[in-house]
Amino acid sequence: MPAPRAPIVRADKSAWLITGPLFAVGILLSLPVLLSGHARPISYNIEYAPALLLFAALASHMELRLDIRRQGLSIWMNDVPVLLSLFYLSPVLTITIRVVAGLIWNVFSVRLGRHKAAFNAASQMASIAAANVVIFVAGLGPATDPRTWVVLGLAIVASNFVSLASLSGVMALMHGAAQVPQFLRIAVPGHAVMGVNIVLGLVMLLTLHAGPWSILLLVMLAVVLGIGNRAYARFLRQHKTLTEMYALTRDIASTNHDGTLPDVLLGRVRALLVADSATLWLAPQSRHEEILLSARFDYPGLLDAAPTPDRFRELAMRIGRTVTAGPKTGAPELRALLQQAHVKDIIVVPLRSGGVTVGTLEVAGRLGDRTAFGPDDVQLIETLAAHTGVAVENSRLVDRLQYDANHDALTGLANRRRMLEALGEAMSGRGPREVVAVLLFDVVALRQVNDSLGHTAGDRVLVEVARRLQNLAPQGALVARVGDDEFAIELRTAGVEAAVAVAGTLRSGLSDPMVIESLTVDVDANVGVSIYPEHGDDAEVLLQRAHVATHVAKSRGVVQVFNAGLQSRAVRRVGLATDLRTALTNGELEVYFQPKVALTDRRLVGVECLARWEHPVHGQVAPPDFVAVAEHTGQLARLNSVVLCEGIRRAREWADAGRPLAVAINLSARTLGDADLPLQISELLDGHGVPADRLILEICEDDRLLAGGRALPTLNRLRDLGVRLSVDDFGIGRSAFADLSRLPVQEVKIDRTFVQGMATSPSDLAIVRTIVDMARHFGLDVVAEGVESELTLGLLEDMRCDMGQGFLFSRPLPYERFESWLQVQTAADPAEAPAGEVRWLRAVP
């Protein structure tokens, strides 16, 4: 598609190519009339000339504005004095009065350049000469003769036709013939109102014919109509501005998500301020590139250039205020810049987003030689700029949220969701000789880096791995982080061998030593490969099978391609089901404890009990894995019983030791369908002598929880026992406070993903703040999970979050290590502690 061509703009002096011929046409049309011998002498009714000259000069500023069903009609009075002059004066005086009145108006009002003034004089001379020809040919009778009315009307029509033709010619010369149709669509309706002028002129002619004192009636009528028209025009202008503002605000609000904001905004702004151009400029910021787009009066689309000199834009950005300049306004150096740029006047308003100036909204060249931008226009565009700034902020917020939803916060790579979308797109659009490959990289020894150097060093390793994969990946491949230490690459390639070769190259590139905090770290990766369509026709399946291949690659040390003989995740879970039954029978599951701290005084108020399973073959099994196995094999009740018994037993021991702590235990939504659960918990509490309010049951967000269903009766019975109920991982599911208000819960735990990101992400910070404020409104306690930095802790304290839990205080610890942590990290009873001493809770490695 060819690039749009900029509109043609020639210098004003080129107008002489039209001005000269127009003078010649005026002279040629006047010669037959003047040389015929039947024309009126110059002295004919010359006493009327001063009054008609004054009337002609004033008529150039007399406008009647009519608005009918949103259609505006402007009636200029220029033709009225022309009609009277044609009847009362000689042809020479008629031409002279029209030209002189135009020059007077130019000198004392609009102050056109000499080229435009000369063109106007030539156009007026030619148009009046054409009217004189009509009068000469048809002749005039008495003022009361209808034939005289027709002749005068035809003369005015001829005058307007010549005027319109001359304007079309200069438009074609200055801006190109392509702009003439658009000009005629605007100008022809304006010339169509000459019928009103003809009628007004004839009425005045007949009134004057009645007697000289009748002019007083005309003056009085003109004064009344003038005052009324000004008030009416002011009202209509305000009404139109409000209507346009409403429409513009509505349209801007509807374009935040589809990228059409500049198209809608600039066209409306240019039309509303009757400007030659409107420009939106946004400075480059973060991921957003610089934007410079202009809507022009004489071009239907948007241009990537603006008539505004850069100096105006830089000044507005620097001072943070509106910059204006015109023929009579602005600093001299700014007016000089306008003259150099051939721009009549300009308004540049800074755009603010979140208190920061991000760009400018500009209008240049008020259309019409008689008008220029004024204070009302400045106020109007400043209001538009305020709306535009909000729209830009909202648009960028939506863009940021969409970006965050599809990208990893740490590495900036695509996340699992975006990877699955890209896989689906690649599978549907692959070529006939292509396969879609998924390469899954599992970074080896990342846990050792975290344990020895800390999570900050581990994050730096992940960022470096992401950078290397992006640099080494083939063109067109998508690199994503799909897990804590897992990276996936989607690419189209010729076959399995080509995919394995790419995986080998990338793995070799990752093996180069990395320098982290003055230490050299050797990083390796296990790589699994799956291929579409050989290994599956679903994106989720392909990624899962690449994960299976990666797991096998851990023991083989090579790039592993998935095949049907590899143990699938489902098969592994079947094996885990048998092993889990044995582990529950033999007491091989261990309960870890993670402290919950009151943020107001850093006081330890409770612990969360977490099940851990060290498998003799597979090593540490992730809790989601063995919980899922327990749910699907009917062992969930036994698993819950183990954790409940251990947690309540420890609560009794801590109470006996003078450290009464609440214990929180996770329950799946499926567990709540067990009608015997409240009775089991009641018996455990009574058996150990633990008050019911020391037990907190945490339930993850789930559709069955939201809908109530079988879970609601169980929740009510637990509440009646005095057990406290908490919604875990709040914010990542579908539940809302309106749903929580119908459930008997007393606590909300904010999901760690929002808490960990709140120090760097404004959207995460806003989500956490909203949850805390709304929970306080509903009388719910709030626990923030994932507190890992002092900055995050300070933000939570500022928003008065009740409790915190995370690595900043301690990781989940087995009972013996937790007891040691209690001795080292917590203060004794305040009455027994030294005066003024407050012990700080520190992270435990």
What element of type H or E holds 481? strand 478-481
Residue 647 pLDDT > 90, yes or no? yes
The confidence score (pLDDT) of residue 686 equals 92
Residue 649 pLDDT > 90, yes or no? yes
**How far apart (Å, rounded) are the C-alpha atoms in residues 473 and 466?**
10
Range of 212-221, 393-402, 625-634 with top mean pLDDT: 625-634
User: Which residue has 């880096």 as its token pair?
Assistant: 449
pTM for the complete prediction?
0.42
Beta bridge partners of 98: none
The confidence score (pLDDT) of residue 65 equals 52
Show Cβ contacts of residue 423 under 8 Å, excluding neighbours closer than 6 positions. Answer: 436, 438, 490, 532, 539, 542, 543
Residue 845 pLDDT > 60, yes or no? no
What is the pLDDT of the chain when averaged over all its residues? 79
Cis amide bond preceding 533, omega within 30: yes
Give residue 558's pLDDT band: very low, low, confident or very high (50, 70, 90).
confident
Beta bridge partners of 351: 359
Strand-pair category, 71-76 with 478-481: unpaired
Give the model confidence (pLDDT) of 709-756 as tens digits: 557 788 888 989 999 999 888 876 555 566 677 788 899 999 888 898
Show Cβ contacts of residue 764 under 8 Å, excluding neighbours closer than 6 positions. Answer: 753, 754, 755, 757, 758
Token pair for residue 372?
């220029």
The confidence score (pLDDT) of residue 88 equals 85
Give residue 648's pLDDT band: very low, low, confident or very high (50, 70, 90).
very high
Closest CA to 598 of 809, 446, 396: 809
291-298 contacts: CB < 8 A, separation 24 or more? 291/262, 291/359, 293/262, 293/266, 294/266, 295/266, 295/267, 295/269, 295/270, 296/7, 296/270, 297/270, 297/367, 298/7, 298/175, 298/179, 298/182
Residue 517 pLDDT > 70, yes or no? no
User: Which residue has 């513009």 as its token pair?
Assistant: 248
Greater confidence, 67 or 166? Answer: 166
39-46 contacts: CB < 8 A, separation 24 or more? 39/90, 39/91, 39/136, 40/89, 40/90, 40/91, 41/90, 42/90, 42/92, 42/93, 43/90, 44/89, 44/90, 44/93, 45/88, 45/89, 45/90, 46/89, 46/93
φ, ψ dihedrals at 411, nearest 5°? -100, -15
Give the model confidence (pLDDT) of 166-211 as tens digits: 877 777 776 666 666 766 665 566 566 677 778 888 888 888 777 7
C-beta of residue 810 within 8 angstroms of C-beta of residue 825: yes
Give the model confidence (pLDDT) of 441-483 as tens digits: 988 767 667 766 777 888 888 888 999 999 999 988 999 998 8
Residue 828 pLDDT > 80, yes or no? no
Give the model confidence (pLDDT) of 799-825 as tens digits: 999 999 999 899 999 999 999 888 887
The confidence score (pLDDT) of residue 689 equals 92
Range of 239-243, 331-335, 443-447 with top mean pLDDT: 331-335
Greater confidence, 6 or 145? Answer: 145
Strand-pair category, 525-532 with 356-366: unpaired
Greater confidence, 164 or 804? Answer: 804
